[in-house]
Amino acid sequence: MIFFPVPEHESLVLNLKHAPICILVSLILIVCFLLSKPFDQNALANLPVEERSVFWQVQGEAYTRYLIDNKIVLGSLVKQLVLDKKKPESSKKILGYLSLRDSKFFPYEEWYAKQGDLVKYEFWKSIQKIRNKSFFEKILLSYGINYDSFAETTVFTYMFLHASTGHLIANLLFLLLFGVAVEKRFGSIMFLSLFLLGGVMGAFFYFSLNGLSMVSLIGASGSVSALVAFYSFYLLHEKTSFFYFLLPFEGYFGFISLPAVGIVIWWALYELANHYSSAGIYGSVAHSAHLGGFTLGVLAASILRLTQNFLVGQEKNPALQDSLSSL
């Protein structure tokens, strides 16, 4: 079953009035096109499974020694992997993959690999030469958010990078759906402010709840979450469209109207459940960043509603109007 909100779908037509959205979408697409596989991202793919397994295990053990010896501040995922006693081999393999994204580890990886089993080390060294870091990984390290690149610039640049086609399509879909709706009702300045500040808040939540990691935080999900929350919370009791799909037959797909509060509840529960579940701990989705953007959207909608209610109340105050007219 497919079920997701589609606000104001009948007017979802991009034109010059939606210039900021068009520019953002174009910029994200251009960045993804420039980074799309001009290199071999999986140099080890042609090796037998057993050889790859040994390589990742040695790499992971070396990285574990490096993290412990240097007392690196670990994020929740990496800390669990380092301390894992139930499935140490699986955890070491995952750490081996993660180590490829830690630029500070590169100068020491051979030395730490040599501290383990010497037979495995010799094998690791023989195939380590064919492992090339991809251009894409270097971009992630420089412009995504990790403990090696957390800065004033990366809290903005990370929003325009995406890890896969699915990641890109999902974010662009909701950016178009809610971006057009927000810009139509509240203007371009509000749309751009929510997009950028939602991304910044997403980065802050990710850092606060997960800690910085060698795995780069990338994607516009925090920004999109801010747009979704702002639109839904501001129009809490208004009806909005939801698209549903059960079967490819007439009557089993289409649009239904439900209160916008349904979006708020659905989105918040989904992100909270995933953040505190095993999917949030071991998955590749930064649900904490989504929660950050969502929080920013709710706060912005609340402030706007309170401000408008205050102004309306002042307009209806006869004493205030008389005092203003006498000036």
Is 146 in contact with 217 (CB distance < 8 Å)?
yes
Task: Say if residue 308 is in the same domain as residue 273.
Answer: yes
Task: Say if residue 98 is in the same domain as residue 168.
Answer: no
Task: Say if residue 30 is in the same domain as residue 53.
Answer: no
**Confidence (pLDDT) at 74:** 61
Give the residue from 133, 159, 187 where a domain finishes.
Answer: 133
Is the pLDDT score of 133 beyond 80? no
Task: Say if residue 111 is in the same domain as residue 242.
Answer: no
Mean pLDDT (the chain) is 75
Count the alpha carbons within 13 Å of 76 in the hemisphere toward its beta carbon.
17
Is 99 within the bounds of a domain?
yes
Give the residue from 85, 105, 133 where a domain finishes.
Answer: 133
Tokens of 90: 């699986």
Task: Say if residue 240 is in the same domain as residue 216.
Answer: yes
Tokens of 109: 């990886």
Is 15 within the bounds of a domain?
yes
Sheet strand arrangement including 253-259: 2-5, 239-245, 253-259
Task: Say if residue 21 is in the same domain as residue 57.
Answer: no
Q: Could you tell me which residues come within 8 angstroms of residue 262 by beta carbon, excluding any fewer than 6 positions away? A: 5, 242
Tell me the CATH number at 217.
1.20.1540.10
Task: Say if residue 65 is in the same domain as residue 198.
Answer: no
State the chain's maximal CA–CA distance in angstroms. 93
Q: Cα 137 from chain centroid?
A: 17
Question: Bridge partners of 2?
Answer: 245
pLDDT, tens digit, 9 for 90 and up, residues 269-289? 888 777 776 444 455 678 888
Is the pLDDT score of 155 beyond 50? yes
pLDDT grade for 43, boundaries at 50, 70 and 90: low
Phi, psi of 116 (to 5 degrees): -100, -145
Is 88 within the bounds of a domain?
yes
Is 258 within the bounds of a domain?
yes
Task: Say if residue 175 is in the same domain as residue 307.
Answer: yes
Is the pLDDT score of 300 beyond 90? yes
Min mean pLDDT across 23-27, 105-109, 149-153 is at 149-153
Is 127 within the bounds of a domain?
yes
pLDDT, tens digit, 9 for 90 and up, residues 66-118? 888 877 656 655 666 677 766 677 777 778 877 766 767 777 888 888 888 88
pLDDT more than 90, % of the chain: 11
Question: What value does the mean pLDDT take over residues 27-55?
Answer: 68
CA angle at residue 307 from 304 to 309, to 5 degrees? 105
**Confidence (pLDDT) at 206:** 86
Question: What value does the mean pLDDT take over residues 315-319?
Answer: 61
Our count of domains for the chain comes to: 2
Task: Say if residue 165 is in the same domain as residue 253.
Answer: yes
Is 318 within the bounds of a domain?
no
**Confidence (pLDDT) at 76:** 58
pLDDT grade for 196, boundaries at 50, 70 and 90: very high
CB atoms within 10 A of CB 296: 27
Please report, in angstroms and rounded to a whole number, the separation of the first and last CA atoms in the chain: 63
Task: Say if residue 232 is in the same domain as residue 286.
Answer: yes
Range of the domain at 77: 49-133
Is 166 within the bounds of a domain?
yes
Q: Running DSSP on this structure, what letter comes out for residue 133?
A: -
**Confidence (pLDDT) at 327:** 45
Task: Say if residue 193 is in the same domain as residue 257.
Answer: yes
Is 145 within the bounds of a domain?
no
Going by C-alpha positions, the residue among 135, 178, 214 that lies closest to residue 301 is 178
Task: Say if residue 297 is in the same domain as residue 166.
Answer: yes
pLDDT more than 70, % of the chain: 68
More confident residue, 194 or 124: 194
Going by C-alpha positions, the residue among 214, 208, 203 that lies closest to residue 74 is 214
pLDDT grade for 192, boundaries at 50, 70 and 90: very high
Q: Could you tell me which residues come within 8 angstroms of residue 25 by beta carbon, excluding any fewer than 6 positions away? A: 172, 175, 176
User: How far, in Å, are 46, 54, 93 from residue 49 at the CA level?
Assistant: 9, 9, 13
